[in-house]
Amino acid sequence: MDAPSSDLHFVLFPMMLQGHMLPMVDIARLLAQNGVTVTIITTPINANRIKPVIDRAIESNLKIQILELQLPFAEAGLPEGCENFDLLPSAAYIGNLLKATKMLENPAERMLQALNPPPSCIISDGGLPWTTDIANRLNIPRIIFYGPGCFAFLCIHIVNNTNILEEIDSNTEYFPLPGLPDRIEITKPQASSWGKGKTKETIEAFEETQEAEKGAYGIVVNSFEELEPKYVEEFAKAKCKKVWCIGPVSLCNKSLQDVSERGNKAAIEPHDCLKWLDIMDPRSVIYVCLGSLSYASTKQAIEVGIGLEKTSEEFERWILEEGYEERVIDRGLLVRGWAPQILILSHQAIGGFVTHCGWNSVLEGICVGVPFVTWPHFADQFLNERFIVDVLKIGVKIGAEVPITIRDKFEVMVKRENIKKAVESLMNEDEEGEARRKRAKEFGEMAKRAMEEGGSSKVNIKLLIQDIVEEISKKNKPQYNV
């Protein structure tokens, strides 16, 4: 007989990136809401960021806990306290952080061996391939979580498993990616900004990830089938694995506190934010956020002309000397630091979203039915731009063409004229603009239905749990010699 889900214990290992940690915490809560015991294993600083949300989940009687592992800073050549990619001084330390995460394998395994009830399954980030070895030694399945959706990862799979890039000489010429349901054109740097990288550490990490993927039981994706049906199917075929789309997982956040504190404590009081938005006309406000890993130069921040996160003292001086905040006080709100993004996007005053095209932000915008101005920077973001603009047709490109390096300061990529043109195009009341808004609204309604009882993602999370029950039963079934 199959074991009930209440006997299951899922252990989650998120990667130390906000864009990967946020959905993993939501996945943990969704599993716990379905009767599963859940343990999240991360480092102290990252644990502290998610603790308020997890504490509230525990108060609501969900069986969920956080356990902490300390990174070996000195051994990895990593500065003290650099426990997340957004805390690295520069891109030069990415390899050190990857090295430090690999050194967590033995202490993590000892931690799992001491758990009661024992772990039934590991869900770990694709960037933590050593969790496959732990799963094998404990004789439990490992499921991979990847940050992006099925479209982006199918594109990445094609790039990594064909010779397409070797056939392209130009770094500026657009070419079609083969084997996709839609015609998607991209440049060589945009196609290769997710993958091996250029250093010995990143190349080794990539190859280990690819090898570990082969032994995984399946892949869980923060997406929903109605958003990218052709790509869910093609992605599962390409990987020859089970794929469960269980999102948008951010929709599990219902309370004001959970919404406003998702990922970190907001740098602005949520009520102050809502109060400002309340005085604005419906669909009259553009929300701009370029993610937690983008590090704009002062010149670029000035070109944008509105506050992003604090980038330098020079930019702060510019704001003060120019009287910028006072100049736009009746039509602009500057948030220095972590913004309560879902809360802001959900407000009726928001008419568009200028985004770096990180997958979490894309899904959060889709959930509330707003159209996008796309400004990708690195990794999967240029692929997500293609998905927004060419597949879903709910966005306008701002004109960014060349990927930048994560955590390194970038100079002016996009001029103020491009920004003005893209925003005006997005907010235009013409036939094209109205069609874009209509499609965005329809996808938002689909997203909500997917997470409701009987919806595709709600069904898939139950199927995921049932698949693990059956896999454990199979592993534990006595073998008889004839």
Confidence of residue 123 (pLDDT cuts 50, 70, 90): very high
CA pair distance 293, 356, nearest whole angstrom:
10
List the CATH code of the domain at 5-247+452-473: 3.40.50.2000
pLDDT in tens, 180-189: 999 999 999 9
Q: Tell me whether domains 5-247+452-473 and 266-447 share a fold.
A: yes
Is 86 or 391 the better-scoring residue by pLDDT?
Answer: 391
Q: What are the DSSP E strand ranges found in 384-436?
A: 395-397
Tokens of 246: 């269980």
pLDDT in tens, 189-237: 998 877 666 677 777 888 888 899 999 999 999 999 999 999 999 999 9
Determine the pLDDT at residue 334: 58
Confidence of residue 276 (pLDDT cuts 50, 70, 90): confident
Is 51 or 476 the better-scoring residue by pLDDT?
Answer: 51
Query: Is a pLDDT exceeding 80 seen at residue 324?
Result: no
Q: Rounded to 5 degrees, what angle do the CA atoms 52, 58, 59 make?
A: 90
CA pair distance 385, 108, nearest whole angstrom:
36
Helix (H, G, I), strand (E, B) or coil at 34: coil
pLDDT in tens, 360-375: 999 999 999 999 999 9
Confidence of residue 414 (pLDDT cuts 50, 70, 90): confident
Query: Is a pLDDT exceeding 70 seen at residue 258?
Result: yes
Indicate the pairing of strand 242-245 with strand 285-289. unpaired
CA 306 to chain centre: 24
Reported as type and span, the H/E element at residue 128 is: none
Helices (H) and strands (E) in the chain, counts: 21, 13
Other beta carbons less than 10 A from residue 246's beta carbon: 26
Cβ 353 vs Cβ 345: under 8 Å: yes
The pTM of this model reads 0.86
Helix axes of 18-33 and 456-476: crossing angle, nearest 10 degrees: 80
The domain segmentation of the chain, as residue ranges, is: 5-247+452-473, 266-447
CA pair distance 367, 446, nearest whole angstrom:
8
pLDDT in tens, 104-118: 999 999 999 999 999
Pinpoint the alpha helices (H) of 251-291: 256-260, 270-278
Mean pLDDT of 386-410: 85
Radius of gyration of the chain (CA): 22
Q: How far is CA 291 from CA 37, 71, 286, 355, 406, in A?
A: 32, 25, 16, 8, 11
Judge: domain 266-447, CATH 2.40.40.20: no
To the nearest whole number, what is the mean pLDDT of the chain? 85
Mean pLDDT of 260-270: 62
Q: Give the residue from 243, 31, 14 showing the smallest Cα distance to 131.
A: 14
CA pair distance 114, 123, nearest whole angstrom:
18
CA pair distance 84, 263, nearest whole angstrom:
12
Determine the pLDDT at residue 420: 82
pLDDT in tens, 428-479: 888 999 999 999 999 999 999 999 999 999 999 999 999 999 998 887 765 5
* Of 258-267, 277-286, 309-318, 321-330, minimum mean pLDDT range: 309-318
Helix axes of 431-450 and 359-367: crossing angle, nearest 10 degrees: 100
